[in-house]
Amino acid sequence: MTATAVLAMAYGTAAQPEELEAYYTHIRGGRPPTPELIAALRLRYEAIGGRSPLLELTRAQLAGLKNALADAGHPDVPVALGMKHAAPFIEDTVADLAAAGARRIVGLVLAPHYSHLSVGEYTERARAAAALAPGQPTVSVVRSWHLAPGYLDFLSAALEDALRALPAQAAARVHVLFTAHSLPRRILEEDDPYPTQLRETAEAVAARTGLERWSVAWQSAGRTPEPWIGPDVLEALGELAAAGASAVVVCPAGFVADHLEVLYDLDIEASSRARELGITFARTASPNADPRLLRALARVVLDEMARDAAAA
């Protein structure tokens, strides 16, 4: 029996090509996608090799987090995965943790920036599941970790690596774009901290690396009628090229692993757009299971556990 368990939460992905339609249907709230939509999604997956590496990378992150917690003196704290749109679902994992004896669950969303449409929804689902689970364990969720030192360390080092790798001529007028997944524009009217937190991350990395030319852009907007936050990264590339930028380095600070929104939306779509514009394009490496990130997340989890203990 364990008193405390960690619930690591992620968006989820289709593990195999044959699961794409069910996965997309779940994202759409049970509404099956049109044949055109599913065909377009399949083409994007085929372009990155047929499947996303996200599930394997997420599991590697959990193993690394477990090891980092053990190294910090907490080898007895289990770390379990719950996903929003694919199995194992958040609700099932909460039930399993409760059945195994967890009386306190610390939730950690594998995304650094808070929005009520993202981290807020994960939190609601975990707490609702706990209310129905054996023993009704308490649930606290890390609100955000967008300024965690180890996370900023990784981004800064990855950015410096990408900048050093640029051809000398392209590096003369390089501009850095910090990106995250776009969200519906209505969050701007709801005092949602998501855009501000991305800018705070960007400012912190810019200060660490001495950047002079940088800005924030958004990517991977949903295909819905309502407007989403901009500028989109493709629009930003056009504006920067028109302003005389010789190269653009994209730092996808809102993503912690290689997946479709990085491997296709940036490495294929944005890279192709940059070539059309005649500018050099580069992307910073994703954290994936880098120990710097996982040590930072372990620290974030332990801080949340300490807050829980103090409030008890």
Give residue-wise pLDDT tens across range 48-73: 999 999 999 999 999 999 999 999 99
Do 279 and 294 fall within a single domain? no
pLDDT tens profile 80-124: 999 999 999 999 999 999 999 999 999 999 999 999 999 999 999
* pLDDT for res 17: 86
Do 183 and 258 fall within a single domain? yes
Separation CA 242–CA 276 (nearest Å) = 12
**pLDDT at residue 183 above 50?**
yes
What is the pLDDT of the chain when averaged over all its residues?
Answer: 96
* pLDDT for res 172: 87
Do 166 and 196 fall within a single domain? yes
Do 96 and 154 fall within a single domain? no
Separation CA 262–CA 57 (nearest Å) = 13
* pLDDT for res 70: 98
Range of the domain at 133: 4-145+290-311
Kindly state the average pLDDT of the residues 297-310. 93
Do 35 and 134 fall within a single domain? yes
Do 24 and 96 fall within a single domain? yes
Separation CA 152–CA 175 (nearest Å) = 19
pLDDT tens profile 194-246: 999 999 999 999 999 999 999 999 999 988 889 999 999 999 999 999 999 99
* Torsional class of 288: left (φ above 0), alpha (ψ -120 to 50), beta (otherwise): left
* pLDDT for res 1: 45
pLDDT tens profile 266-286: 999 999 999 999 999 999 999
Number of domains, the chain: 2
Do 277 and 307 fall within a single domain? no
Do 66 and 132 fall within a single domain? yes
Do 201 and 118 fall within a single domain? no
Provide the CATH number for the domain around residue 176.
3.40.50.1400
Confidence of residue 308 (pLDDT cuts 50, 70, 90): confident
pLDDT tens profile 2-53: 699 999 999 999 988 899 999 999 999 999 999 999 999 999 999 999 999 9
Do 141 and 208 fall within a single domain? no
* pLDDT for res 224: 85
Kindly state the average pLDDT of the residues 186-191. 94
Separation CA 79–CA 138 (nearest Å) = 16
Do 101 and 162 fall within a single domain? no
Would you state the structure tokens that stand for residue 141, as one six-digit string? 């969720």
* pLDDT for res 2: 62
pLDDT tens profile 140-173: 999 999 999 999 999 999 999 999 999 998 888 9
C-alpha distances (whole Å) from 203 to each of 116, 132, 207, 214, 273 are: 23, 42, 6, 9, 26
